Each structure stands twice: as structure tokens, then as C-alpha cells.
Amino acid sequence: MKITIITADKKVIIDGYGVTIPDLNLPNIWALRFDTATGIGEIEPVDKSQPNYSIDSVEDYKSIIEQAIDLKKQQVSQYEAALLAEEQRKLNWSYKRQQDYGTWDKQLEMIYDKGIDAWKDHIATIKTRYPKT
């Protein structure tokens, strides 16, 4: 896992996915970068006259990282729920249209018995009743 914390922006980025933590406050740290695969990281101090220094653990920042992971999970869950709701909405009009159209043999029977214009009117009425939204 690659972790970046940018204090001034109040951002925590984990494996390329960033979340904002409004109360993020790490005094004297401008940015933190850490790779859990290698166990290598560095901290960039706010004071630019100070050199960056290496770290081999993010244990001191564990609560911030866990908060970011929780926020990420919430955002992904909300996004997935929104996608599912949109998909359900789309399926809803499609399903309703299919039910009202009737089977192909019934539609062909309508065309044969009442003519193509009656069938077109029937289809147009259903499309108006269940618009693609």
C-alpha cells in the first residue's frame, strides 16, 4: 500500500485514492510518503530549511490512515449504492415497457388485426408512459 499524507491540503492518498480529512493536523509535517511493501518512507517538514527524513513505520499515523480507509470505504459504498439505484431505475422503465409491449406474437397479431399504425400508436403510448430517464 502506498500512502501519502499532505497536511496543508488535508488529504490522505492511499494507492491513488484520495480522501479529505478536515481535521487533519500534523504539526511540522508538510507531507508524508510511505510504501508498506518496502517499509520505506519519508517525511517532508514544513520548514524547508530542514531536510526530509526517512521513516520505516507509519505506526504514529495509524489512526489517520485508518480514518482515511474508513472514509474511502464509505465513499465507495455510497458510489456503489448510487450506481445500483441508477441501474434499478433504468431497469424499471425497461421492464415496464417490455411488460406492456406484450410478446412478439401478440404484437404481430395486433399488426395483422388492427394494422401497423395501431401498433405504432400502442408502442408510442407505452414509450410516453415509461420514458427513458
- Per-residue pLDDT tens digits for 16-56: 989 999 999 999 999 999 999 999 999 999 998 999 999 99
pLDDT at 5 over 80: yes
pLDDT at residue 132, rounded to an integer? 85
Residues 6+ apart with CB under 8 A from 21: 10, 11, 12, 64, 67, 68, 71
pLDDT at residue 92, rounded to an integer? 84
- Contact criterion met (CB below 8 Å) for 36 and 1: yes
Mean pLDDT to the nearest integer, 92-116: 92
- Per-residue pLDDT tens digits for 46-102: 998 999 999 999 999 999 999 999 998 888 888 898 888 888 877 788 888 988 999
Q: Where are the domains of the chain?
A: 2-76, 82-129
